[in-house]
């Protein structure tokens, strides 16, 4: 294959040489790694990766191509959003001749269509070891012209990935108010399968006067402390008794609204095989994760309990209020292209809404 040469640079001066594929552009962002063996379509369209340069440790990427853009109920059936959100893709080996019964594009063609560059021919396992030693770093792919480094964490990324106008999905029994900070499509699918009507609103939407049975706080990119408007609205919701369920960034926003604090991990949790322990039990679950920030459990008020704990580093992976129907998970129970061991958390949300509706029919 006559792919042109390209370079990948880290902010500490380390340089890797490889071959360009995808869009013929240079790109900069935050370099992060994922250990997943499958699910590259889902990861690339996950809004939580906004502004990042995704490094895959698994050697062969692109071997099953990219699926069709078919929609069900106005939601992309095989993607987590309507476009690629990473700034660039860094892989070891690119599969030039993929095959799958549902393939519509090759990965390179799909990247080019979305104006996203990629680079292959790099020892991504050595690169990942460096990121594990040094921590997450800024990086850039140079294809034609050099560009400056770029730190996406200084921006309000949720505003760049969420919807602009209120949107309603479904016509089910349970009315869910979903705060979109970069929600994944499979969250919508999981709620719709459980007889929900979803009212999806932007990250800064004032929902305090809305009528709903349950509040859902979505996943999303960036530093949770930059979303002060959302935190303020969630603080009001905590004074009520309507159920609240948060996932990933939503878990952090719930904790911040409750009075807790967050901190950034050295290199984040990004894999399909993170083990978490359900507190009060000996049951461990395998989870899919993609985040840089976590809650400091010692900062939480005493009415909040840790619901899940990461078995690798002991970090907080979820919250549970001791008396009100509020809970959250730092991982992705809706994982598409990952384990679905914890999808029962959506059933917990439904059960809490059912109890709320029984008390306050409307």
Closest C-alpha among 212, 213, 205, 203 to residue 183: 203
Q: What is the location of CATH 3.40.50.880 in the chain?
A: 158-359
Distance of CA 264 to the CA centre of its chain: 15
Both ends of the chain: CA-CA distance in Å?
63
User: Given this model, what pLDDT does residue 151 score?
Assistant: 94
Annotated catalytic residue, options 162, 181, 196, 248: 248
Chain segment 291-336, per-residue pLDDT in tens: 889 999 999 999 999 999 999 999 999 999 999 999 999 999 998 8
CB-based contacts of 133, cutoff 8 Å, min separation 6: none
Banded pLDDT at 337 (limits 50, 70, 90): confident
CA 220 to chain centre: 5
Does the pTM surpass 0.85? The reply is: yes
Distances (CA, A) of 350 to 169, 203, 337: 17, 23, 24
Residue 162 a catalytic site member: no
Asked if 319 contacts 328 with a C-beta cutoff of 8 angstroms, the reply is yes
Is 69 annotated as catalytic?
no
Q: CATH 3.50.30.20: which residues of the chain?
A: 5-154
Distance CA 329, CA 332 (A): 7
Q: Which fold has domain 158-359?
A: Rossmann fold (3.40.50)
Fold of 5-154: Glucose Oxidase; domain 1 (3.50.30)
Range 110-139 average pLDDT: 93
Active site residue 42: no
124, burial (CB in 10 Å: exposed 0-12, middle 13-18, buried 19+): buried
CA distance 121 to 285: 34
Cβ pair 221, 51 in contact under 8 A: yes
Query: Two tokens at 248?
Result: 């990933």
């Amino acid at each position: 294959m006559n792919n042109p040469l390209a370079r990948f640079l880290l902010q500490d001066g380390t340089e890797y040489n490889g071959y360009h594929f995808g869009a013929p552009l240079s790109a900069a962002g935050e370099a992060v790694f994922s250990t997943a063996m499958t699910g590259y379509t889902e990861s690339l369209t996950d809004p939580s990766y906004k502004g990042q340069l995704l490094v895959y440790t698994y050697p062969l990427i692109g071997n099953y191509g990219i699926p069709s853009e078919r929609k069900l109920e106005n939601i992309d059936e095989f993607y987590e959003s309507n476009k690629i959100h990473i700034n660039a893709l860094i892989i070891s080996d690119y599969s030039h001749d993929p095959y799958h019964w549902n393939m519509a594009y090759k990965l390179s063609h799909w990247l080019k269509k979305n104006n996203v560059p990629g680079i292959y021919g790099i020892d991504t396992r050595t690169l990942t070891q460096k990121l594990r030693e040094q921590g997450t770093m800024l990086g850039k792919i140079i294809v034609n012209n050099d560009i400056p480094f770029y730190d996406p964490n200084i921006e309000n990324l949720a505003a760049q990935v969420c919807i602009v106008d209120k949107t309603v999905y479904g016509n089910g029994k349970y009315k869910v108010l979903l705060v979109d900070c970069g929600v994944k499509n499979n969250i919508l699918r999981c709620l719709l399968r459980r007889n929900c009507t979803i009212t999806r609103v932007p990250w800064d939407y004032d929902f305090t006067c809305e009528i709903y049975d349950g509040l859902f706080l979505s996943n999303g990119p960036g530093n949770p402390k930059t979303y002060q408007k959302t935190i303020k609205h969630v603080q009001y919701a905590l004074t009520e008794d309507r159920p609240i369920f948060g996932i990933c960034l939503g878990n952090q926003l719930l904790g911040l609204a409750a009075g807790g604090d967050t901190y950034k991990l050295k290199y984040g949790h990004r894999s399909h095989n993170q083990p978490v322990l359900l507190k009060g039990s000996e049951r461990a679950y395998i989870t899919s994760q993609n985040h840089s920030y976590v809650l400091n459990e010692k900062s939480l008020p005493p009415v909040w309990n840790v619901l899940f704990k990461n078995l690798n580093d002991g970090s907080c992976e979820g919250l549970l209020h001791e008396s009100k129907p509020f809970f959250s998970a730092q991982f992705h129970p809706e994982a598409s292209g990952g384990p679905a061991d914890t999808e029962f958390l959506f059933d917990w949300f439904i059960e809490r809404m059912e109890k709320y509706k029984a008390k306050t029919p409307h």
